[in-house]
Each structure stands twice: as structure tokens, then as C-alpha cells.
A and B are shown apart, each in its own frame.
Chain A
Amino acid sequence: MGSYLRYLSENSTELIFYAQQHFLLVGYSVGLASVISLALALVLHTNQLTPPSWRRSLRVGGRETSLLLASAALTIPSLALFGILQPLLGLGVTPSIVALTLYGIYPVLRNTLAGLSSVDPAVLEAARGVGMGPVRRMLRVQLPLAWPVIMSGIRVAVLIVISIAVVAAIINGPGFGKPLQDGLARLGAVNSFNEVITGTLGCLVVAAGYEIVFVVVRRLTTPRGLRV
């Protein structure tokens, strides 16, 4: 225990740097995943370009297809995905973010679609009846009402991506993956076990950081009428 604390204090600069990297890596990936999922869901719901008779089938078809693809992406073993992306995108940050974004899409997309379709049809009919167009209806009514559900999807994505992010170390990605993998590779050597513990605990610290962020964001963005 004492030696571990000494290890922490001796390497504190490096560890704080890992924590920052890990936090940002997760933030960028989930952020990108959220933007992609939201854009996809909004386009499917507010689409006015196609003939009216297509819209329903296009929306349902688009929803099922995108969910299928996103869930397929989530099932690819993370080790393999990083390996596959390496020849295409090289090493380092870019392929790490791309891979983690792919993993983040499914939970966000799933909750976004569920949240949007859980809005009371009577409320949407009233919105139509008072003369709101599809875009206004989405931005003023449907999206605010679905927001708490979408937020919880983003939160799940963050938790998943935090733990998968350590695998990014195999392609020289940033974050706590590096001490973890270093430690595992030289298990038995000096400080190797401390590195493994640090990588693991580091993920928990990052997760705790995000929990705080979510409490604040939820407080600020949930419409008052929806707070229980």
C-alpha cells in the first residue's frame, strides 16, 4: 500500500496526463457518436424531401437499418477493430477516436430513437394542429421532451467507451491503456502490478468525473416542467 502511494506520487504528472487524455478521448468519441446519432434521427424524423407516401417506410426502414449497423459495430471485438483500422488510419489518436465513435453510436442512437418515439402522440398532434412545421415541431417539442432519454443513452455510451478506450493502447492510442498494457506485458517486474492497478482505477476516476459532468448537464438542460 505504501509503495503504491509512493508510485502514485512519483508518477503523478504522468498519471494526470493520462487522465486528461482518457477523459478527452472519451469526450471526443462520444461527442462525435452523439452528433452522428442525433443528426441521423432528426433527419429521419423531419424529412420533407421525399414524397409523403414514402416518409413512413423510409423512417421505419432507416431506423431499423441504422440500429442494425450500430449494433453490429458494437459486437466487433475491440481488439480486432483497432487492428483492422490500423492499416487504414495508421497509429495514434485518429484511429482511436474513429473506433470508439463506432462503439458509442449504438447506445445513443437507440435511446434517441426511443426517446423521440416515446413523445405523447397527442402532444405531437396538438403541435401540428397549432401550425408547427416538422422542423419546429422537432426542435421545440419532440427533442426537448426526448432529451432526458437521449441523455441517459449518452451516459451509457460514455461508460462503455471508457472501458473500451484502454484497448486503444495497442495502436498507440492515448489514455490509461498505456500503463495498463505496459504493466500487463511485464507482469512480475518492478511496478508492473502498480501500473495495472493504476490503469484500472484511472478508468474509474474518469467515469466518476463524467458522472459529475452529467449531474450538472442534466440539471442545466432538463426543462423544468419535466423534472420530477
Chain B
Amino acid sequence: MSRNSKIMDANEAVANVAYRVNEVVAIYPITPSSAMGEWADQWAAEKLPNIWGTVPHAIEMQSEGGAAGVVHGALQTGSLATTFTASQGLMLMLPNMHKIAGELTATAFHVSARTLATHALSIFGDHSDVMSCRTTGWAMLCSNSVQEAMDMALIAHAASLESRIPFLHFFDGFRTSHELNKIEMLTPDDMRALINLDRVFEHRARGLSPDHPVLRGTAQNPDVFFQSREAGNPYYAACPKIVSDVMDKFAQRMGRRYGLFDYVGAPDAERVLVMMGSGAETVEQTLEQLNRQGEKLGLVKVRLYRPFSVEAFVRALPPTVRSLAVLDRTKEAGASGDPLYLDVVNALHEAGRSDGLRSAARIVSGRYGLSSKEFTPAMAKAVFDNLTSDAPKNHFTVGIIDDVSHSSLEYDPEFSIETASAVRAIFYGLGADGTVGANKNSIKIIGENTSNFAQGYFVYDSKKSGAVTISHLRFGPEPIRAPYLISRANFVGCHQWIFLERLDMLGSLTEQGTFLLNSPYGPEEVWKHLPARVQAQLISKKAKLFVIDAYGMARETGLGSRINTIMQACFFAISNVLPPEEAIAAIKEAIRQSYGKKGEDIVSQNLKAVDESLSHLFEVTVPNAAAGEAAQLTAFSSEAPQFERDVLGTIYAGRGDDLPVSAFPCDGTFPTATAKWEKRNLALEIPVWDPKICIQCGKCAMVCPHSVIRIKVYDSRELSRAPATFKSTAARDKEWQGLNYTIQVAPEDCTGCGICVDVCPARNKSAARLKAINMEPQPPLCAAESENWRFFLQLPEVDRRKINLTSIRQQQLQEPLFEFSGACSGCGETPYLKLLSQLFGDRAIVANATGCSSIYGGNLPTSPWAKNAEGRGPAWSNSLFEDNAEFGLGFRLSVDKQAEMARELVLELSASIGDELAMAILCALQEDEAAIYEQRERVQALKSKLQVLDSAKARQLGSIADALVKKSIWIVGGDGWAYDIGYGGLDHVLASGRNVNVLVLDTEVYSNTGGQASKSTPRGAVAKFAAGGRPARKKDLGLMAMSYGNVYVASVAMGAKDEQTLKAFLEAEAYDGPSLIIAYSHCIAHGINMSTAMSGQKLAVDSGQWLLYRYHPERADAGQSPLLLDSRAPSKRVEEFLSQQARFKMLARSNPEVASRLWKQAQQDAVDRFRLYEGLAQQQTSDHKDKQPAQP
């Protein structure tokens, strides 16, 4: 039978099978498995049937725990059900997994294996999550490639139904889940052929039904539990044979043969590796080459890891084996070995009774590839080489330099097995510039329209704005099985000129390779603008250099800033992947297919761009000599502290792989205030202040998402050393009379979002187009403004005690202790965090739920959380996604306990300390900045006194004395956390009555994982997992919190009413109890113009889509209603707001009838909500008189 070949990644391949052979699909987003759920949801929305002709139910749950629960329930009632997950999500499924296995229930979960968070979170791939499931009783089946992932997904479901053992099917996160490769598609008939319908009927028959009732899930006592637990043993004993039989059946139909353990290599191999996952492909390719050179090497690929068949494993080994290296892609700290190694040791030990030869083999253990660390042929060779030693290194690592425990194997990075027939291309792009999209398109063109094979893998950094993307593409006549990055490229494309200074792109270019550069300079002048280092590399490699001004062309052809089509056409024109004419025709056809639905305009623009590209592409003659001396790449300024420069700077420069173990802290602790060293120079335009127009309101600084707009007032004498272009004017505020005032922009840190211009209320009276702050091109301003910025920074900060915090124009003088984050340009979350950091940062501890804010807040190499001149600033940590409220409550309890203990000791030691100081410390209320300042002075005095007291209690007090200064505990996270996965914990923490401040950055969607719906997603919005438009009303988290009566609750939108936001933050923090601020945060996932997003917030409030209010329990004490409605009655229709955002408009385009209904309901929601709150705000205070605050 001929089957279609398609280009896809493993997530799509697996979802294709899982969706088709199930009836209920429970989903929840988590990287890197989210796409599987997204596919399932989308197909369900499109009414795609499964292999039995019915459309599966796809349901998003509040957490992976919830998804597992739903699956468990569906299975128990006789349906076929599945889910997808990874990492922490898999951990949340563990309790249900134990149950499902204990009940011998057929199912398969599909896991794109990802690192478990330990000293740090990592979204990348290894086996630490799946290895944590070894005790669940699930079968574990591993795929090593995209094709295998599709095949094994089917085998897992089929074998599970046959065996009644649930299957955990896994493949390497990112490396396999996200690799594009050409695969042969399984058809619905293939699936029907593999799935035994009788077993399906038996599964259904076991389902709970009142028509044949049974009891399952009993509680058992010591008398019988043990025996019952052993009763399922025969099923496990039978499982390997069943899997083997299903694999044989699969091979008969499909021609691809798998075994429980597949041996590849020399039949008489003496050195053999044992491993599973994508790395096995690398080893196989490597040993094939080495064996051709006369080596005798082998590899056992573990497919069915659980139940582990000792017999099958031993049988797979060649009888000649002398030494074995077992490679684990996980770390089990403290164990006598990593898990697969221990299984192999045990297998050979047990087999030794019958097979003395194999069991005599020497076995060593190695660890590789944690968190997607590259595992290359060179490393595979090093592992084989280690086995040649008389005393091979055991418990080794490979792929890193371990200069602490000296575990690492050395390898020759020059060793390569890449074939000459393949085209290997690397492209460097800027996130969202279209580079990756174009490359994915190229792979499809080649892979699906020619007999050639194609592979694509894409490396992203962790910035949301200005991220570097590196695309690795291979094309060739043979199937491509190379799950590692390209180290020798015969084509390198640089799509952004700014990378030339920052990245070493040509290091991987082969001799006589081709370098395509998107250059603002033409062929005649480009050479002199190239860094000398790049010139030298081009000369030494005898490279061909091509240039095109893609941005200029994109503007001319109406494509704006998207250069994808242009660069793709150039690649095909000069790479020789296909004959140029054939390639160009294929691109054009792809354009028609991709953009056909989007209108003739877009199609013709792109077709024109293709033709124009070819006439604007020029080869540059490479001279014989470089123009200057090659300078080393430097990342951070020499002013940066050594650790920041040597370690973080190296990571920033893309050379983190080179750092040895000793470079890192042992516990994941890193300095803050490090984002300032990056100087990313992203902005094409930056804001320029016009002091003559400025009314000094401070709004521009307040909304700046990246904290690059700063304000200071200072004595004019400071200006004596000012640079020539430094701007200054007289301060307008009466309290600052006689002082000078400056708004300064950090030109190299600005992302050019333009939000500041949108909110500026002051217009130039002679040219109303201009405001007091206007965007102007960055390059000509950069040098002078950088100098001004440096001068500005060394101007003294205003004494915090003298700032009126209730006035934005004064409050914005507070130094931000959150700056230059890598959040999206124009982010709606970060202005709130910056405000928090200004107001309370020098005494704040932040518990941050996993999500966007934890990524731009704490993803290496740098952090935007900063410190002031005294070294104080927010202390920050991220625990998990689901437990953040509890994590923050832990901070509170800890800090309170330390403060209480310190006060007890102060009282006890008052005679030694001095009664006056002791009483002053104990009686300090610390209600404002001045009082906190004074307390800090007292604590300093206390510490000085304690130093001369030689007693255990004095030392005790010294260790916790800082706790005597008031601390501000902030629990920060997005709506995915607060409304969904963390809601139970949040609810409990709010009910605790403890003094914590919860800030919900409400983007109304799971932003970080790519826009999946949460319970905060408003009615009518299209989101992933709500592809048909969210039908339900947004959950009213604030109202739920208010029901406790003693929780301060505020709903804010900075762009709508900044003064109200400021008041809410101040009130929340001052309130001695739990506070909840729900902050409307616009987001790129809304499909909006980010530069006018603050105006969008105003529209949200004006239309009643978002309410502004503050519920202050203490207001009831003053005889007022606790609820103060800060919104006026809606003056605009909700439709006006909805029609500004693609998330709503999408539905109007895809399903106008549903959109029309939901938009009307959304209008009614807004009316109902306003009426409800209006009523609550008018309620008599007697309603609240009886309510007493809960006691901590």
C-alpha cells in the first residue's frame, strides 16, 4: 500500500494517532507537549472523526492532575481515553497513574520527555520526568525519532488494549517533539488493523455501569492488600510478549520492524552501548561509520523499558560483548547508578545464572544530554573509546566539562560523520522575523514535493523580545537521522546584521561554503562594514558571500518587516538544494497555497518579492586580506562583576556549552541586577523627550514595560559634568522648586515598543502630531544617549522618604528594581512588576509562579530583578506552577516567625542592647518609608551592639535581626496559575488571613505556553484549546475572593486609570491581611497593536469589559461599603473593544454566527457585571458589620 509522506514533528505525528484511536482526550498545556493537545482540540473543533467515525471529546482541564483524573474516569466508564504531558505535568499525574495501573486499565499517555525542575526549571528534554514514573506500574515505551513516535504511539495503544497494562509512550522533548522530518503517515486503516476491536469491547465491558454494577477503588487492610497487589503479576509477565507480537503485526503491515530491544552494529561487537531516546540514532549513525573503518561496535536500543524483559535484553546482546556502556539521560542523585544502568546491571546479574558469557561483560554507566544538552557523534565515539581502556571511567558524564567531580569524558569536537551528499544549512534570525517560518516552509517544499528528505530543528533563546533563532536544516537524497545540531554547514544565512558583532556564525561554515547576509549595505560597500573577525573567517574559508537588503525590499514590496519570502528565495537561488528554476517555481506554488486564503494582495506581494529578491541578490567578491585585526567577541561590559562577565556573559554570547561545572553555583543561586549588562540594542526607534512640551506627569515612565524611561530631580550643580546633549529643565512640581528635572531613556535597553508615546498626554501646541515624547531612529542617537544614560545613572536618587507616593509624578522618581526584562516588546505585565519594585522592592520577597513572568524574570543568563545602591532589592524565587500561593505563604510564615523570634530576643537582651533602642525597635510601626528607614537605622545600631556581645542569643539575634524591618511578601503569577492550576492553593492562602500580597497578571490566556485558554479567557475569545471560541463567561476571581470578607481585592488596568492602580498597590501592601490585585495585562496573544495597548485597556474599561474596583475590608469599619467601584457605567459598547483584538475577530471570521451570539452575550455579561458590582458598592455597611477579620 502506498502511503503519504509528510513533513511533521513528533508532536503532530503522535497526536495524529492518539486522537484517532481514542474517544476522550483530556488536555492541559505544558512545554514541549502542548502542541499535541492543541492538535487534538483543533481537530475536535473541526469535527474530524476518529477511526470509528465519531468525533472525540477534547477537554482542557485545570491542571495535569485534572487531566489524569478525567482520563481515569473516562477509562473506568469504558471509554478509550488519552492525554499528553511532560515534566511537572507528568508528576501531577502520578497518583492517577498508580491507580490506573493498579486497576489494569488500558490506555496510553504520550510524553515529550522533559527535564524536571530541580536547582532550576528547564523546558528542554531529558528523561528525568519519565524515569520518575518507574514505580507506577506503567509500561514504558520509547521512540527515538519522529517516524518512531508515530509508530510507537499506535503500538502503545494496541499493546495496552491487548495487555491491560497502561502505557507511557515517550520521546525526547524538543529534539524529537519539535524536529521536522519526513515520515510515512499511518492511515486510519493501519490503525484499525492494529487495534484489536475485541479488546476494545472487553475494555468497554469492564466499564462501570449501573446495568452491571461493580465496586472498584476499594480500601483494603493489611490482611489482603498485599495479596491483591500481587494478583496482577501475570499481566506484567505477559506484557513483553504481547508488545513483541504487536510490533510483529505492525512490521507485517508497515514494513518497519521493532523489537523490545533492538541491536544494531557488528554481530561480533565487543563494545556495546545501551540507551534509549534520540541519542540512540546518533550512536547508530556513528558506529556504522566507525565499523566501516574496522571497529566492532554495537548498540542496544531499548524500546520497552517497562516491563523490563531480562530475557529479551540479554538475547539482544551479541555473545561477543566484552564491555557495555549504559547511557542514561537523567540523573538520580545519590543512587548507586542511574536507572537504566541499574536495570542492565540487574538484568545481567540475573541472567548470569544461565548466561555466563554475557554477564561477564564489564558495565559502565554514563550520563548525557540533560536538558537537551547536545549529544553528538563525537560524544558517542568518546563513549566507545572509553570502553577500550583497561579501566574505563565509570559513572561518567559526556558533553560537559566536569572539573569538579572530574566525571566527564573528553571528546574530539572535530569528529564528524556528516555525509557529503547532504546540504546542511544554518540560519540566524530574530524571533518573529519570519526566518523560522520560511525554513519550515522550505522543508515542506523539499520534503513533500521532491523525492529528497529533509530535516529541520530550531533553536530558540529564552527572550520573548529580540530572541535569536537558529535554524538547522538538512536536505539530502537519503533519510536523515541526525538528531544533533549541524556543526559543519555548507550554507549559513544571517538574517540580521546586528548578529555579526554578537555571534560567531561562521565558525561552523565549511571551506568554500556560502554565506548569505541580509545587509543594509550593497555589494560594493558591505565589505568595509563587516567586522574584521568576519572578514578573516570569510577569507580563510574561501567562502562565497552573497548580500541582499531584505528589509529594504520588504518595505518596497509591501511586506513590512517580514523578510521570510525574500530570504527563502535567496537561499533556494544559491544553495543548489534544487535546480534554481524548479526551486523558485516550488516557492511560488507554496506561496499560493499558504496565502491563497488570505487574499490576492498577500499572494501577489509575496510572488513579487520572490522575483525582486533574485534581482537584488548580489555576490560579493571576497578580498584577499581583512581590513583590520579580528577582535574577540565580548558580551558584557568590562564594568560587570567577574561572575556576571565570565559566566553570564559567556552564556549570553551563546557559548554556555563551553562553561565547566565549576563555573556554576551548586544550588542554583544567582545574582540579581544582571539584565543591565546585556545592552541588546533592539529598538529601531527610541523615545526622545521634549522638555519644552513635557508636563512632568510621569506616565511615560510608569507604563514603560522595560524600565528604560527614568526620571530624576536634582540640584542644577550636578549638571556641571553633564554631556553636551543631556537634557534638563526646571522641575514643575511645587515641592521640587529650584531643582532640575530630566527624563532619560536607556537607548540600548529600549525595545522600541512606543507605549510611552501612546500614553503621553502632552501635545506640541504648534504641531499636534508631536507629543512630549516621540519615537525617533535609534542608531544616530545611540552613542550620545548612551553617554547621557551613564551620566543620568550617577545622578543621586531622590530620598525615598521625601516622595509623595500617592502622586504618580512624584512616585515615578522611585528607582525601579525591575529593569530591562526580555519580555515581549510592549508587555502588559511588566509595568505592574516595575511599579511593585519601585514601591516595595527594597524590602520585597517575590514568589513567582511559572509562566511568562518567571521566564523573563528568571531565565538565565540574566534577571531584570535589580538592586539599589545599598544592595537591597527584591529577592525572587520560582517554585512550581501549581504551588505558588503556598510557596509565598511559606515566605510569610518564615519571615513572621523570624521577626517574632527576633522581637523575643530583643526583649530578652534589652538590658544589653539598651532599653531605649530595644523599645524603639519593638514599638516601631513602620507605616511609611520614613519609619521603615528609621527602623533600618535602629537595626543597624542593634547589629553593631550585638557584635560586641558574646552570647549564643546575641548571635541568634544577629542572624535574624534584619527580619525586624518590615518585609513585603508578593505572590506573583498569571491567570493560568491563579484561575486554574493554582486556584486551590490561592484560595487557601487568601483564606489564611495572612499578610501576603497576590498580584495576578491577568492576560486572560496561558501566554507563556502560546495562548491556551484559561478560565480567565473571556467569552468569545479564540485561544488554543478554545479554537471554536470560548463559550463561557470569564471566572470572577475577585468576587470569589471578596466573599471571604477579610481579603483586600482590587481590579486594575494601568492604561485605563493609573492613579487607581497606584492606590491599589499601596492599599494592598499596607493592608495587614491577604490582598489580591487582579491586573489587566494586555498581551501579544490578544492579537493587538502593542504600541497602543494602554489605550486598549482604557477601552476595555470604558466598555465594561473590565471593571476597576477596590474592595477594602477596613472601609467597613469606617461605615462605608468595602467595595469602591472605580469604573463609571460603560460608555461604549463591548463590541468596540472586541473588534480591536484579533482573538475576538478571529471567531467572527471563522464562525460569524457563533461570534455574533457570543458578542451579544459578552455585552450582556458586561451589563450584568456592572450592575452586580454597582449594587455591591451601594450596599449598606451593616451587611459587613458582623464580619470579623479572620485571625492568622
Question: Do these two chains interact?
Answer: no
Question: Which A residues fall within an 8 A CB radius of B?
Answer: none
Question: Which B residues fall within an 8 A CB radius of A?
Answer: none
